[in-house]
Structure 1
């Protein structure tokens, strides 16, 4: 198990929490909470060690497209980069649906 932390500058604050996905084989959950910080903070717990660079690449692309300002908790159980991007995008869409 590995714990990762990333921080990204972001400009679009969220106003309510969002929870997407589940912790299950090949899947992950994303929890987003509003923050007073000037950066998005991501805490990731993953069962797959040694993928920090892959996580960073996926997250950098996501934040370049969607600069959401929030506190993120991600609990991963072997999700592929495609699933990570899908869950992050679903969380972003859930924010829009609830507004």
Structure 2
């Protein structure tokens, strides 16, 4: 198990909280809590060692596409593919943006 913490600049503000996925399904779970400020703090617990660069690349891509919201993102990953990871993260951001 590896624990990764990222702190990235945020350029949008949302409010509320959301959950997507279920880690017990062999997939991943993403919890997002919006906060005021200019930073998105990301705590990742993953079953894949040495995956820092994969996560950084994923968040760089998300930032280019839609920007990152301020808040706290907690990810419990059980080896999800990058595509599934992106979908789960986008799901929590979308759910909070419609709350």
Higher strand share: 1
Are the counterparts in 2 of residues 8 and 40 from structure 1 also a CA contact under 8 Å? yes
Are the counterparts in 1 of residues 32 and 73 from structure 2 also a CA contact under 8 Å? yes
**Cα distance in structure 1, aligned partners of 2:3 and 2:91:** 23
Gapped regions of structure 2 (runs ≥ 5): none
Partner of 1:15: 15
Partner of 2:73: 72
Q: What TM-score do the two structures reach when normalised by structure 1?
A: 0.89
CA RMSD of aligned residues (A): 1.4
Q: Note closer, same or farther for the CA distance 1:25–1:48 as it changes in structure 2 (3 Å cut).
A: farther
Aligned length: 98
3-state SS in 2 of match to 1:13: coil
Q: After superposing the two structures, state which structure 1 stretch, 18-27 or 48-57, moved more.
A: 18-27
